[in-house]
Each structure stands twice: as structure tokens, then as C-alpha cells.
Amino acid sequence: MIHFNVKRPDDAIRQTLIDKINDLTKPKGSLGMLESLALQIGWIQQTLTPMLNCPTNVVFAADHGIADEGVSFSPKEVTRQMIGNFLSGGAGVNFLARQHGFRLKVVDAGVDFDFPKLDGLIDRKVRKGTRNYLHEAALTDAEVELCMERGAEIVRACHEEGCNVISFGEMGIANTSTSSLWMHFLTGIPLDQCIGAGSGLDNEGIRHKIDVLSRAKANYNGDGSVMSMLTYFGGLEMDMAVGAMLQAAELNMIVLVDGFIMTNCMLAASKICHDVLCYAIFGHQGDESGHKMTLDALGAKPILNLGLRLGEGTGAICAYPIVDSAVRMINEMNTFSKASVTKYF
């Protein structure tokens, strides 16, 4: 099994960071979440003057065998079609990446399609979609290992390009089904509370999704561990994201966490190494059923709540300007002594 050396940042600097933040020309605590974000980022980077360099969003794309059971409003071919949309710059994540200065990387983790050579598409395909976990394990142990290794490889390349703040998105029809099963097994929340509309199911469609996933759960004979989830109910793009998150934390990078699916990937990563959560900033609370409960299970405080449920990394990128504001606050505001202002708290 691939091993990640994720360590909790040294706490020795925390009080000095708190003192600096409290000495800025404002009442103590008056900038709210900007203060807690600045503290976290300075703690991660072990500096009183943190920096955000080369923000990057990686979209992992793959297909899911469970899509054959009609658990998604969208047909499976949308996964491969959206690859072209990402590469042409026309998707939701594209305009946000342009707006906020993110590099965008698109990774074929396991799309059920033979792409020609396309500029901008990073080929890390492990297999052409997962097996249908209604009937059998989605992946083998070796395939999970390869996914995590390839996710980690992508992050190392981003780090070598100067990136120290990274977000992850996904594209994979039916991956909310996989996320719901991970959520259920890793939190203990009843399965029906973990299942939502995904890309647009109506009430009848949600009932069908609950029926299919309940039968998949009944057929499962694993031990309920995180590695069992990554294998039996695995998603190629999701397993790759888990490896990517752990590698980013090992490299002391800030990980901006997107919506329901990526939050469940962070949940899985935290079950492998709890200290990965030190590096996580949760971008938003999405509109997918179960997302708030997963965030609550992690003790996470998301920055935004805009009713988003697109995925792709969109919510994480939307939250980035707030993170940038936190860094600007600690670096650019005057202290009371420097500004010759009497402390007024």
C-alpha cells in the first residue's frame, strides 16, 4: 500500500500568529473567518507572512459501472463529452478558473472511451470505468493503489511548478452514488439520508437510486474499512483524488475542498491519515443532500453557501478570493504600533 508521510504542522508558531493577527488595526476577532483562515494558512506554511502561489484546480474524470443501473439523471456519455468542454474552455470550472487565476488540469482517470491525443488532456487512465458494484467489487486492490499513486504524481508535478494551493474537482456520471455509500459507511449516517438528486433526479428517480444502492450495500461483504470502500465501492477519479489530497498534505500544500464528492474524498483521506484535515479548507456547503452532514461529521466550517452542486472544483475556486483576502489581511494590514493607533478593544 502506498504510504503518505502526512504530519500535523508544528504548533509552536500558533501563538505568535495569533498575536500578530490580534495586533492588526481592528478589534480582536472582528474579521471573523478571515482571521481563522490566516491562522491556518500561516500554521501550514510555518510563517508569519504566508503566500498563495500558482493556484491550481485538477479535474479527475472517470466512469462508474453503477451508472448502468439508471441511478443518474445524466447518461454516461456525458463524462467523455464534458472532457471536450473542459478542454475548449466552455465549462463552469473554466470561467471561474479564468476569473480567479487558476491553472486548470484535466485528467482522464478512467473514462470509458478511447480518446485521441488531445492537447491539455492528461492520460492517467487506470481502466475504462469501474465494474458495477451492484454485482461485484468496482476495483481491485491493485487498481486502487495505482489510482492513488497517479493522483499523487499529478500533485507532485503541480508542486514542482510552484503551486502551494490546490483544489480538486471531478467529472463522472453516477459519482454521487459512490459518494453516498462512502458517506454511509464512513460516518454511520443511514444510507437514505446520504442519497440525493445528483445531477437532477426527481422523487421517483431518488427512490430508484435508494433501492439500487440499498441492494448494492446488501451484496457487500467487506469489513467497512476505508480501503474496502475505495475498492468495492470505488471510483477511479475519487480514489485518485484521495491520493492527491494526501500527497498535497505531505507537501504542506493548502487543499481547497469542493463539494459533496470531494468532501467525501477528504473524509476517506482523513480515515487513512487524520492529520490531512489540518491542510483542508472547505470551500462551500453545497445543495446536494448529505453534504452538510458530511461536513458536520468532519467538524468542517465551509466558507460559502451558495446552493452549488456542479462539482468540477467550482465551489472551491469560488471560495478562493476569501482565502486570498485572509492572506492579504495578515500581510498588508498595519499593526497598532506601526500605525500609531491606540488599541480600542
Query: Quick one: cell of 178?
Result: 459512490
Residue 13 DSSP class: G
Residue pair 79/111 in contact (Cβ under 8 Å)? The answer is yes
The residues that are catalytic are: 312
How far apart are alpha carbons 235 and 174 in whole angstroms?
Answer: 10
CA proximity to 159, closest of 62, 241, 255: 255
Dihedral angle sign, alpha carbons of residues 201, 206, 207, 210:
positive
Q: Would you report the helix, strand and coil content of the chain in percent, each value rounded to 5? A: 50, 10, 40
Angle between helices 260-272 and 175-187 (to 10 degrees): 40
Query: Residue 233: what are its φ and ψ, rounded to 5°?
Result: -110, 35
How many angstroms separate the Cα of 117 from the Cα of each of 129, 145, 147, 151?
19, 26, 21, 20
Query: Quick one: cell of 183?
Result: 458517506
> 30-39: which pairs have CB atoms within 8 A and are 24 or more residues apart?
31/329, 33/301, 33/303, 33/322, 33/326, 34/322, 34/325, 34/326, 34/329, 35/326, 35/329, 36/301, 37/281, 37/303, 37/322, 37/323, 37/326, 38/326, 38/327, 38/329, 38/330, 39/14
Query: Quick one: cell of 5?
Result: 508521510
How far apart are alpha carbons 93 and 107 in whole angstroms?
Answer: 14
